[in-house]
Amino acid sequence: MKDYLKKEVNYYKKKWTGKVPIALVFPNYYSVGMSNLGFLKIYESLNHYEEIVCERFFLPQGEKLRSIESERPLRDFNLILFSISFEVDYLNVVKIIKLGGLPLDPKKRKEIILAGGVATWSNPEPLADIVDGFILGEWEALEKEVVPLFLSYFNHKKKLLSFLSEKNFFYNPREASQEIKVLKTKKLTSPLFSTLISSEAEFTNTYLIEVSKGCGKNCRFCLAGFIYRPPRKFSWESLNKVLEKIPLKAKVGLIGLEFVDNEEILKLGQELLKKEVVLTFSSLRIDALKDEFLELLKNTQSVALAPETGSSKLKKVINKNLEEEQILEAINKLQKYLKKLKLYFMVNLPLEEERDLWETISFIERILKYKFKLQFTFSFSFFVPKPHTPFQWMEFPTIENLKHKEKFLRKNLSSVKGVKIESPKEAFLQAILSRGNRNLKSFILALTEKKGLSQIGKKDFIEPNILKPYEKLEYPFPWDKIKVGIKKEYLWREWQRAKALEPSPFCQLGHCNSCSACNSLEEV
């Protein structure tokens, strides 16, 4: 097995004697999981407990499934926690359980397998017949609720599940259906921050800091924008405590830039530059690129912007009505600081027609005519309507339809360098997994047995309406029992406004009760 520890700094390697062993699993490759701040934070938090030894597992690449720290098999851990960020990784959850030699049926398994992460907040149902339960919420709010139970009952599956089931954030699929509340904290006291870095992570040797939570810009397509509502920011005092832990000349990734033009975040960036760090950003808000913020990019090589579409109609549909002049002005400013710029676009948005794709193609051509001193990448992904968003009522097209759009783009952008288009099959699979119910188990098992989508007949989809449009507010979605804090009626109104091309305001924190997110937070 590859010795990943040689590539890492600040990992934990504990003796097992007298300790509670917990397996923390990220169901994707090492490089992906080691760039996931939530996963890294849980690993560090659990290992801060003297009584716990927490070791990491990732999807293996041509090697045996073993823990990173001590190369132990999965069956050595009685308590197994999956942190799931992407719906497509539901397949990898099944692969890992099978590679670990554990039964897929919870009733036949002595080990306790629990899952959490933003994908499970959205819709845990496809895994409901495979894992023992779901812990839904932000780790800062969950930790003091669940860790004492882990310590007391890690060897008593029935008791642990019984006590967890008393919590309103725990979903036990084998109990009578009940409403589950995604636990979110009202007062942010300490930013998520990890000192564990790796040269083989996607963000190579990068210290990751979450500088805010949530977003209130009300982009109707964005799962994160709704599921993490309301937007919350950290005080300068809490950000400064993290600043003190960053070494000189480090590489630092800032995550959660809703308040990118906020005084505290600008001050944090300025103080980091005094330490001669290289700042990286997952994506930047086009409407927040003020001169003060641009100064933070002086050591940065590349960033990403998300215009989403060049169509004036679709900008109204998604409620992200950025003017072309704004985008061009932002690019013009960025060329003074950067060498590379990635622009994200989406295909398959609601109400999309061929002329909307033409508008995006024309927009890209106009960008190139300006001869900016930047190396561009134009990245296209197929939009997948997600639960808990206004577009959850939208129809999802066939693979053939997606392939037609892919072919159209490739043909009409053939002379443009740096065009990348997501696989239609990947998008189609994501749509099924994000919108399905627990009857998808046979479908998931078939795919994990190396059968492709083309080999699986429609009978395996179980629910024939899984990708069809939903015409009524009252339609019972599989994920309705999961309460993320947003009223379904509010999402339905936003869906109607999208179809009418009507704008909606940004979040007005504490000054409205339109979506109810502000009332969903807990004092923890």
Alpha-carbon distances of 147 from 52, 69, 144, 391, 503, rounded to whole Å: 10, 21, 6, 36, 44
The C-alpha R_g of the chain, in whole angstroms, comes to 23
In DSSP notation, 6-46 reads: GGEES------TT-EEEEEEESS-HHHHTT-HHHHHHHHHH
User: What's the confidence (pLDDT) of residue 186?
Assistant: 83
Q: Which among 264, 263, 272, 268 is positioned nearest to 300, based on CA atoms? A: 272
User: What's the confidence (pLDDT) of residue 299?
Assistant: 83
Query: How far, in Å, CA of 399 to CA of 285, rounded?
Result: 31
Tokens representing 447 are 């795919």
Tokens representing 262 are 């906020």
CA dihedral sign, ordered 219, 222, 228, 232: negative
Question: Cβ(253)–Cβ(208) under 8 Å?
Answer: yes
- Three-state DSSP at 160 gives helix
Residue stretches of the chain with pLDDT short of 50 = 462
Query: How far, in Å, CA of 191 to CA of 213, rounded?
Result: 9
Q: Which among 231, 219, 459, 389 is positioned nearest to 316, based on CA atoms? A: 219
pTM equals 0.95
Question: Cβ(432)–Cβ(411) under 8 Å?
Answer: no
Q: Which residues of 114-144 are buried (b: 16+ CB within 10 A; e: fewer)?
A: bbbbbbbbbbbbbbbbbbbbbbbbbbbbbbe
In DSSP notation, 487-524 reads: -HHHHHHHHHHHHTT---PPP-TTT--SS-GGGG-B--
The H or E element that residue 242 is part of is helix 236-243
Supply the DSSP symbol for 185.
Answer: B
